[in-house]
Chain A
């Protein structure tokens, strides 16, 4: 029995980020399903005892209880990835870039994910405003990735190896169409999602399709 437990909801992009990294790093874990919709178990007394914020995911590893998808990504990469590629703690420049793009991913959660909550989970938010903001962000990400391509870099933080910034930005980018946000005009983003899908250990979730093999 593995010591890691992930409190998980299958349709959550934030939970998907964790499942994705766990799979890529080949870490054993067990899932504890929490029904976000329609049961709203994440607001139940028993779950609030685990995370008073009432948010998914939560990762429990031995004595550690950590919530917030990006904090969990940082923990897993820093502790379980012995190569140090996924979270480059010893490289100040790269660390700053990773952190910057993880904050950007939070903004995607507030826009692209929010639009998906409106369309798919009947949240009472301003869907149009969410979509406008998501497009503003995706334009920035697309141009960033396009310039990286011009310099033969295929990841969000330039370098040979992907980082947890790629995982963090991937989830709600690839699910954007479920919130009515087309990625048609974001060619560089579409190529980058192919690269992410070809990382060994990549897994899908409902609404995410696998890429074919590269040449």
Chain B
């Protein structure tokens, strides 16, 4: 008997490399575990648990769009590499929680085969290596309805191969290398080696993945004749093995453990952890000057896979000088092997952009939070209008890249002072959308252009705005004047330039924790919560990013943020705990 749990730690072949053409999803099984195996357009091979986290439908019938795998049932999308869910069509306005992440398995590509293991493996697959420089040509891989041992023994007993002309058969040439590998040498027609890797798909089903090694590459009709010759030999063996096995009782299928995603993780927003600020260590691997005074930074993980992000997400970067700053990710869909940000050097900067531009160099390691998304992109809009001012392009760039790839209709209006301020101009021009650059417009002309863009609040059109405060306020006002609903106008400020008033004092009652706390003049609600060890995540701490949002059950908040829309502010159902306070004497919070 084989110890199934022990061999889960081995590398097993699950497919041939040429089983995975682009935009295909291969359906594999090893040790009873079903896998959805797909190659992204960047060449990366993914081997995932073959079930959608939502309703358990097989992902092997899903759609590989080159960057993400889309479930056929309700359209949940999962990112290349991370298997993190990036979009849930039934919740178009929300960024999926980072915890919605499918199980992934390590993959290696070697000798024309895709290998997989269930443990984080640092070892290599045990492939047969030959002394000479041989070329391995994969054979057709038949599945045999027999156990691993029955298949191995049957092949040892019955396999024989003659010359192509059908003479001088070599009987029983196979030797056992290990439980999963058989090999033969010096076969007819200048085949120096034959290796058969046995893939234990299930208790009673074994796939024979063979390859022949020759000194010269096989080509044309000779290659096909030889491959057919070996196929016939393997098929003959299979008939013999199955004719015996069919008379014996079939073994019980293996039942692999599927690591469960907890109910909480799959339905709730990500849990709030106070100290989640700098969990990632990122190495700067590339710095490019992408426009006048703008540099882009490519950041790679120094340990393990980076958590997935969605368009509109940002990370908190901890800079060498002790500052923490938020930067939007500009990654395109499926770019899950790095984070990319673009930063403008600002002269009146309090130090963030200055440090990034002058002291950071390739090889440096910085700390960063995992991505957060409070500016998420709906993908159910009839049309999406992206309006960027200057470096405000960054979150919108990621959105434009995603919509271009998904062939969703969108228009990008990119306002800049000079042509030299435009980042990734040639790429933007290639995107599948209407791209308009507006250069050097005065305040009045900008206002006129915004009026032009926002004239018609058409049904199911959505607007995403990011840019300097003045332009953003003007755009939001213009949208309101043209009767756009707040729910269709999404915006992200760089910083909160409004004058904040911390003169009030009030009490908060925390409904869940049963605490009553006093917030005195000069101290923020967030500070008081922290002092009393109530965990609330935060990021910008100036009322722009939306991370420290807290639900309000009773009382009237004094909103001082620039994150919430006027409609949301008027509803008084939540507040930004970093800057907002109370108009009433008391607030009851859902904490």
Contacts and interface: CB of A to CB of B under 8 A. Distances in A.
Interface of A: 139, 143, 146-147, 149-151, 183-185, 187, 190-191, 194, 209-215
B63 A212 contact: yes
Contacts of B66: 215
Given A150-B227, A191-B24, A209 B142 contact: no
B228 A147 contact: yes
Interface in B269-292: none
Contact of B70 (A147, A187, A212): A212
Contacts of B151: none
14 contacts: A147-B140, A147-B228, A147-B231, A149-B18, A150-B223, A184-B27, A184-B60, A187-B16, A190-B24, A191-B24, A212-B64, A214-B22, A214-B23, A215-B23
A212 B227 contact: no
Contacts of A212: 23, 63-65, 70
B224 A147 contact: yes
Interface in B210-231: 223-224, 227-228, 231
Contacts of B224: 147, 150-151
B72 A146 contact: no
A183 B25 CA distance: 13
The 10 A-B pairs with the shortest beta carbon distances in the complex, nearest first, are: A212-B63, A185-B143, A184-B27, A187-B19, A215-B22, A209-B72, A146-B140, A214-B23, A212-B65, A215-B23
Interface of B: 15-16, 18-19, 21-24, 26-29, 34, 41, 60-61, 63-66, 70, 72, 140, 142-143, 201, 205, 207, 223-224, 227-228, 231
Given A187-B15, A209-B61, A212-B63, A143 B140 contact: yes
Given A211-B63, A213-B65, A215-B41, 18 more contacts: A143-B140, A143-B231, A147-B224, A147-B227, A149-B18, A150-B227, A185-B143, A187-B15, A187-B19, A187-B27, A191-B21, A209-B72, A212-B63, A212-B64, A213-B23, A214-B22, A215-B23, A215-B66
A190 B26 contact: yes
A194 B228 contact: no
A143 B140 CA distance: 7
Nearest to A149: B18
Contacts of B65: 212-213
B267 to A, nearest CB: 26
Contacts of A213: 23, 65
A190 B38 CA distance: 13
A11 B142 CA distance: 32
Given A147-B224, A147-B228, A150-B224, A187 B142 contact: no
B519 to A, nearest CB: 53
Which interface residue of A187, A194, A211 has the most chain B CB atoms within 10 A? A187
Contacts of B72: 209
A208 to B, nearest CB: 10
A190 B23 contact: no
Nearest to A146: B140
A185 B63 CA distance: 19
Given A184-B27, A184-B29, A209-B72, A139 B142 contact: yes
Nearest to B139: A146
Nearest to A154: B21
B142 A190 contact: no
B234 to A, nearest CB: 10
Nearest to B69: A212
Contacts of A194: 23-24
B239 to A, nearest CB: 11
A184 B19 CA distance: 12
B381 to A, nearest CB: 21
Nearest to B15: A187
A215 B63 CA distance: 12
Contacts of B21: 191
A147 B230 CA distance: 12
Contacts of B223: 150
A197 to B, nearest CB: 10
A212 B66 CA distance: 10
A87 to B, nearest CB: 27
Contacts of A187: 15-16, 19, 26-27
Contacts of B63: 210-212
B80 to A, nearest CB: 14
Contacts of B29: 184
Nearest to A210: B63
A211 B61 CA distance: 9
Contacts of A143: 140, 142, 231
A185 B15 CA distance: 10
Contacts of B19: 187, 191
Contacts of B231: 143, 147
A213 B432 CA distance: 16
